[in-house]
Structure 1
């Protein structure tokens, strides 16, 4: 949960929810930023940083792109309006972008993976979508080994700097 916090503990800029498994399970070929249609209490709940998108996916419905299975809990700030916490939410993209993503999915069997939900500099909620190819087990092992090596390398560089 990165970003500036206001006095009420809400995030005004930065990441509200992140899908770390998305980058691990898929090789991300390209990314794009999409708007998302939300209700008022959903935005307030997102600003508290309590949303989860680890099981979420984006798919086509009626020629438009929708975000399915994302979890945004109900806002507990005394608002009377209730909403479905796992409702499908419409993603806002240009027609050309939607056609590009859907064409890649149908052509090469790629998947549209939501990578994070964040607030831009103007305070508007956005979703980063990635076009990804599923990784095989050996690719995941290689990714783990590479991540461990980068961590060890950084640790060595830090410890060498302290000796001088």
Structure 2
């Protein structure tokens, strides 16, 4: 993986991540320049499979300042690039109850924009609470271990 531009931090809190895929994305004109500048938002975006093709919805790429009339619609639907066998596999899994496709991060590999797409299942409220408890307990253990290490010298 190359330089990460943006991550969807809320996705791991909201979903159990089953599998991840590295996918390409079809972009227009000045969209790459806006992504390079970090003017992209993954917050409410999701992917959907239609006619054996994968499309990304609600990905907001802000218009490029120097783009003038060549700018694009910031909320347009964008096509994702996957192999046919990966798409067939995803069709089978997303038809199961509760599975959805969520973008986790956008990054550059060489000069190409890539998206890490995840197959996830929505968490229930009690799952989120358990994750928070586990996280805080781990933090307390780290803090206690660090405090015990300081007094040894």
Please give the TM-score of this superposition, normalised by the length of structure 2. Answer: 0.91
1:90 to 66, 70, 79: 79
Shift of 1:117: 0.8
Shift of 1:29: 0.8
Q: Does 1:71 align with 2:55?
A: no
Q: Does 1:125 align with 2:109?
A: no
Query: In structure 2, what is the Cα distance between the partners aligned to 1:37 and 1:154?
Result: 43
Query: In structure 1, what is the Cα distance between the partners aligned to 2:27 and 2:20?
Result: 21
Q: Who is 2:139 aligned against?
A: 151
Specify whether residues 51 and 162 from structure 1 end up closer, same or farther in structure 2 by C-alpha distance, changes over 3 A only: same
Q: Where does structure 1 lack aligned partners over 5 or more consecutive residues?
A: 1-12
1:56 to 35, 39, 45: 45
Give structure 1 regions of 4+ aligned residues with deviation exceeding 6 angstroms: none
Q: Who is 1:5 aligned against?
A: none
Name the Cα RMSD after superposition.
1.6
Specify whether residues 137 and 45 from structure 1 end up closer, same or farther in structure 2 by C-alpha distance, changes over 3 A only: same
1:111 to 86, 94, 100: 100
Query: In structure 2, what is the Cα distance between the partners aligned to 1:162 and 1:48?
Result: 42
SS in 2 for 1:44: helix
Report the count of equivalent residues.
Answer: 151
Larger strand fraction of residues: 2
SS in 1 for 2:72: coil
Q: Does 1:41 align with 2:30?
A: yes
**Greater relative contact order (Cα < 8 A, sep 6+):** 2
Please give the TM-score of this superposition, normalised by the length of structure 1. Answer: 0.85
